[in-house]
């Protein structure tokens, strides 16, 4: 299902200023995979930073990355 991935701050700047992407994904792990597949060097960039991933008001963690989401991913 189509979800919007919204980017902010340093990650948005790294992705050329692109604020959001409408993509066909089911969970936050797929959102990360989308970014890795489309932006060279982003894996290392993200490894050197601290990012919070949210869907709606819920903050995601390692255990919830593969849970289905119905909201935009920030």
DSSP string for 57-72: TEEP-GGGTTSB--S-
Is pLDDT of 65 > 90? no
Distance of CA 1 to the CA centre of its chain: 15
For residue range 12-32, what is the model confidence (pLDDT) as tens digits?
999 999 999 999 999 999 999
What is the rounded average pLDDT for all residues in the chain?
92
Q: Residue for token digits 């992705």?
A: 15
Burial class (CB in 10 A: 0-12, 13-18, 19+), 64: middle
Residue 67 has what pLDDT?
Answer: 87
**The two three-digit tokens of residue 62, written as one number:** 């390692």
Give the single-character DSSP code of 39: S
pTM for the model stands at: 0.89
């Amino acid at each position: 299902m189509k979800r919007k991935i919204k980017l902010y701050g340093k990650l948005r700047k790294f992705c050329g200023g692109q604020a959001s992407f409408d993509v066909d994904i089911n969970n936050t792990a797929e959102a990360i995979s989308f970014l890795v597949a489309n932006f060279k060097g982003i894996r290392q960039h993200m490894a050197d930073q601290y990012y919070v991933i949210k869907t709606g008001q819920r903050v995601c963690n390692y255990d919830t990355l593969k849970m289905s989401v119905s909201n935009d991913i920030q």
